[in-house]
Structure 1
Amino acid sequence: MGSLKLENIRKSFGQVEVLKGIDLEVEDGEFVIFVGPSGCGKSTLLRVIAGLEDASAGSVSIDGDEVDTVPPAKRGIAMVFQSYALYPHLTVRDNMGLGLKQAGRPKDAIAERIATASRMLGLDDYLDRRPAELSGGQRQRVAIGRAVVRNPRLFLFDEPLSNLDAALRVNTRIEIAKLHRKLNATMIYVTHDQVEAMTLGDRIVILNEGRVEQIGSPMELYNNPQNMFVAGFIGSPRMNFIEAALLGQTGARTVGVRPEHITVDRSRGDLKGTVLHVEHLGADTIVYMDCEKAGFLTVRLFGEHKFVPDETLFASPDSARLYRFDDTGAAITPPAG
């Protein structure tokens, strides 16, 4: 079991309120992502769940039990940090089993749990090595393995892939997803990377300035953002925002359109612009345009397109894929498509 309930969690450091009333329920076995810009409070919230920070107000419950006064070691959680936090003088085997050894578990039980976690994470060939003999990705797998052997009620990940290069981030992301399916464990994962959030989470909690902006599945957030912040945060490249009147939209202040929902033409279209830069990515071409009153526009086209800087193009948003927002930035209606 590993359900989690947060009720009106608030956290202040002196006069600065970092968390401003967070409510959340996580079901047993869910993979939930906390995502948001730097300083939004996501890591602080994770530390409150872990017991590494005391909430200024509110309560944390795990499996129905309030744990606000329970020390971290007694909450049944395991954390994986951005820094691997491995002991350099210990082997992989000893790093993974140290927590169980300190807890006084029998040697045979420790060996069995290490063997199980090692098989899951592909660490069998590295058990007798020390951290200095491992790559960054291997070290992070050891850190994850150290969490797995504890058989916790909750796994907490605090930006675990930030120190890895792009290829290793993808590989380790896959390993974490596979691990979640094998263990059917409850996992809370903090990241600033919305691609990680979209590809890993059952649900995503989008935080901004200490508040929850929206909670939902990746595609719920992508297709039906509740406001401009969520619309601009989810999706890569980010959504374009255009003054509604420029596209003949009434009853809205701003319209949003994703880069992949815009077509371009050299002779006609809704918005005239000048090409600022072109990114040739092979499968896609990203075109950045200055569309005068409409402002900076990003267009994502499938395949290779031979546009060049300073070229004049006309951009046409798909009218069925427009998002409409009011004066406060709140969504008015979902797109018609």
Structure 2
Amino acid sequence: MGSLQLKSIRKAFGDHEVLKGIDLEVKDGEFVIFVGPSGCGKSTLLRTIAGLEDVTSGSIRIDGQEVASVPPARRGIAMVFQSYALYPHLTVKDNMGLGLKQAGTEKAEIDARVSRASTMLSLDPYLARRPSELSGGQRQRVAIGRAIVREPKLFLFDEPLSNLDAALRVQTRLEIAGLHRRLKATMIYVTHDQVEAMTLADKIVVLNAGAIEQVGSPMDLYNRPANIFVAGFIGSPQMNFIPAGRLGEAGAKTIGIRPEHIALSRESGDWRGKVIHVEHLGADTIVYLETGAIGLLTVRLFGEHAYAPDDVVFATPDKTRQHRFDGNDRAIA
């Protein structure tokens, strides 16, 4: 079991309040990801769950037990850090089993748990090596293995892929997703990378300035953002925002339309514009248009398209996919 309930969590450093009353429930077995811009409080929130930071006020319950004043080692959690935090003088096997050894677990049990975890993570050939003999991806797998052998109630990941190159990030992301399916464990994961969030999470928590803006599945947040902040944060390239008055739209202040929901034509369309830049990505073509009264637009086209700077084109939004926001930047149903 690994349920988590946070109630009115506040954290201040002096006069600076970093977390401003966080309420959240994580069900047993869920994969929940915290996302948000730098400084939004996502890593601080993770550290309060782990017990590495004391809360200023509020309740943290793991499997129904209040743990806000319980030391980290007794909370039933295991944390995987961005920096791996491996002991350089120990072998892979000893790094993975160290926490159990320090807890007084019998050697036979340590060996059995390390063996299961190393097989799961394809680390068997490296058990006798030291961290300096491993790649970045292998070191991160060792850090994950060290967490697995503890058999925790909660796995906490603090930007675990940030130090890896692009190819290793994809590979390790797939490994973490497979690990979650096999272990059926509760995982809470912090990242600034929305691609990680969209591809891994059962549920995403979008944080901004120490508060939760929205909680939902990846596609809930993509299709039904609660406000302009979430609409602009989820999705790449970012959603286009147009003052409703420029479109003659009544009852809204801002209209949002995602780049992939705009069609381009050289002959006709709703908005005439001039291409100012094109990004040819192979699978996608990103076109940036200056459209005069509508302003700068970003358009995402699937596949390769032969647009070039200074081309005159016409853009037409899919009106069934438009988002409307009121004067407080909240979504209008």
Normalised by the length of structure 1, the TM-score is 0.97
In the TM superposition, structure 1's runs of 4+ consecutive aligned residues that sit over 6 Å from their partners are none
Partner residue in 2 for 1:59: 59
**What is the letter of the counterpart of residue 304 of structure 1?**
E
Find out whether 1:240 has 2:243 as its counterpart. no
Q: What is the rounded CA distance, in whole Å, between the counterparts of 1:73 and 1:148 in structure 2?
A: 15
Partner of 2:201: 201
What's 2:310 paired with? Answer: 310
Aligned partners of 1:247 and 1:270 also within 8 Å:
no
Q: Distance in 1 between matches of 2:71 and 2:52?
A: 8
Whole-angstrom distance in 2 between the partners of 1:69 and 1:331: 39
* Cα pair 1:80 1:143 within 8 Å, conserved: yes
Q: Which amino acid aligns with 1:289?
A: L
* 1:272 paired to 2:272: yes
Displacement of 1:48 in angstroms is: 0.4
CA distance in 2, matches of 1:263, 1:45: 41
Deviates more, 1:58-67 or 1:277-286: 277-286
Write the distance in 2 (CA, Å) between the matches of 1:291 and 1:158.
42
- How many Å apart are 1:313 and its aligned residue? 1.6
Task: Give matches, 1:22-171, under 5 Å.
Answer: 22-171=22-171
Equivalenced residue count is: 333
- Distance in 2, matches of 1:106 and 1:154, equals 23
- Inter-partner Cα distance in structure 1 for 2:113 and 2:136: 23
Q: Distance in 1 between matches of 2:239 and 2:64?
A: 40
Separation in 2, partners of 1:291, 1:94: 62
Opposite residue 50 of structure 1, the aligned amino acid is A
Give the corresponding residue for 1:324: 324
Deviations for 1:306-334, whole angstroms, at most 9, x for unmatched residues?
A: 1111222221111111100011110002x
Using the alignment, how far apart are the partners of 1:68 and 1:56 within structure 2?
Answer: 10
Q: Residues 98-125 of structure 1: CA distance to partner in whole angstroms, max 9, x if unpaired?
A: 0001111100000000000001111011
Gapped regions of structure 2 (runs ≥ 5):
none
Tell me how far apart the structure 2 counterparts of residues 168 and 50 of structure 1 sit (CA, whole Å).
Answer: 27
1:284-321 CA-to-partner distances (Å, cap 9, x unmatched) read: 11101122232221101111111111222221111111
User: Structure 2: which amino acid aligns with 1:184?
Assistant: K
- Percent of aligned positions that are identical: 72
Alpha carbon RMSD of aligned pairs, Å? 0.8
The code of the aligned residue for 1:300 comes to: R
In the alignment, the residues of structure 2 paired with residue 95 and residue 142 of structure 1 have an alpha-carbon distance, to the nearest angstrom, of 8
SS in 1 for 2:128: coil
If the length of structure 2 is used for normalisation, what is the TM-score?
Answer: 0.99
What secondary structure sits across from 1:204 in the alignment?
strand
Once residues 172 and 4 of structure 2 are traced to their aligned partners in structure 1, the CA distance between those partners, rounded to angstroms, is 25
